[in-house]
Amino acid sequence: MPQALRLGDSGPEVADLRARLTRLGLLCDDVSDSFDPTVDRAVRHFQQERGLNIDGAVGPSTLRHLEEARWQLGDRALSFTPGHLMRGDDVQALQRRLTSLGFNVGRVDGIFGALTDAALREFQRGVGVDADGTAGVQTFRALDRLDPSHGSDTHGNVVNGLDESVLVAELAARIEGRLAALGTTVLLTRPAGGAAISDADRAAFANETGADLFVSLHLDACTSTDACGVASFHYGVAPDAGWSHSGERAARRIHQAILSAEPMDDCRVQHKTWELLRLTKMPAVSI
């Protein structure tokens, strides 16, 4: 564009702008090529979200951000190309995921640079994906192996603006990253944002894969401020009538490790007959 587009302009460039804003959900397009007040408001809203000068004018900077905003993680393969660095919201999303897993990408800026390349290769080595520095289908699948107890279909508790599904997803991401860095193969029963599945299906998945240990993460809420701390559960009816001794040992070791790392009220290790604990063939623990 030779000059910035602004309120009152019209033509094919404005039609393209309207299409971009519509794809971002900022405009309900009426198949027009006019830069009218609704477009002006949408542009200003976009500029505010992106930390740009809020002037309603679409110049090179705003246009570049509009181009970057069109990409979502998984839309295209990402890689490090010296001299022609890939930019976009998908790159930024990748950087955020890697950072949450404990990998150093430097600044989360949406630019696929050398540090992002190194972090991606380290992640790929840790999860057993070809460490080629290209974020493609296999890498995206590895990143999606996140198993929060509640996902998009079941958000769980929401208290004081804190969403259980979001908090558990962040917690699971950090745990997965640290285990992967130790060479542990981590399999998730439910990808982030995936459809809700039953505890029986989760147990079946774990049994089919021959997993060595099943760990389920939960965050609970209560209106009473006296309710707090950490509790761990394993399968058990009574010591002489159905009891997972290996599950109990795993639960006690994990429970003690949590208390050692973070001072919290000890709500003890307990036995339950929940499906998640009862149907798994390997030691299973719910935290």
Is residue 147 within 8 A of residue 172, CB to CB? The reply is yes
208 sits in which H/E element: helix 199-209
| Extended beta strands in 131-262, E state | 158-159, 162-163, 214-216, 230-235
Fold of 89-142: Muramoyl-pentapeptide Carboxypeptidase; domain 1 (1.10.101)
Domain 158-286 bears CATH identifier 3.40.630.40: yes
Secondary structure (3-state) at 136? coil
Residue 105 to residue 42: CA distance in whole angstroms: 32
Tens digit of pLDDT for each residue in 130-183? 899 999 988 887 776 644 444 444 555 555 666 677 777 778 778 877 887 778
pLDDT attached to residue 160: 62
pLDDT attached to residue 256: 93
Sheet hosting strand 214-216, strand order edge to edge: 214-216, 284-286, 230-235, 266-272
Dihedrals phi, psi of 4, to nearest 5 degrees: -65, 145
> How much of the chain, in percent, has pLDDT values that exceed 90?
38
Nearest by Cα to 123 from 141, 111, 149, 110: 141
Rounded average pLDDT per 10-residue block, the chain, 287 residues: 83 92 85 91 91 90 91 90 92 86 82 94 84 90 59 53 72 79 78 68 86 88 77 82 87 93 88 86 92
Is residue 150 within 8 A of residue 192, CB to CB? The reply is no
Residue 45 to residue 36: CA distance in whole angstroms: 14
12-69 belongs to which homologous superfamily? PGBD-like superfamily/PGBD (1.10.101.10)
Residue listed under structure tokens 């009862």: 278
Residue 93 to residue 108: CA distance in whole angstroms: 9
Dihedrals phi, psi of 236, to nearest 5 degrees: 180, 140
Own/partner contacts of 260-267, CB < 8 Å, gap of 24 or more, are 264/228, 264/229, 264/230, 265/228, 265/229, 265/230, 266/229, 266/230, 267/229, 267/230, 267/231
| Per-residue b or e along 240-251, where b marks 16 or more CB atoms closer than 10 Å to that residue's CB | eeeebeebbebb
Domain map (residue ranges) of the chain: 12-69, 89-142, 158-286
Same fold, 12-69 and 89-142: yes
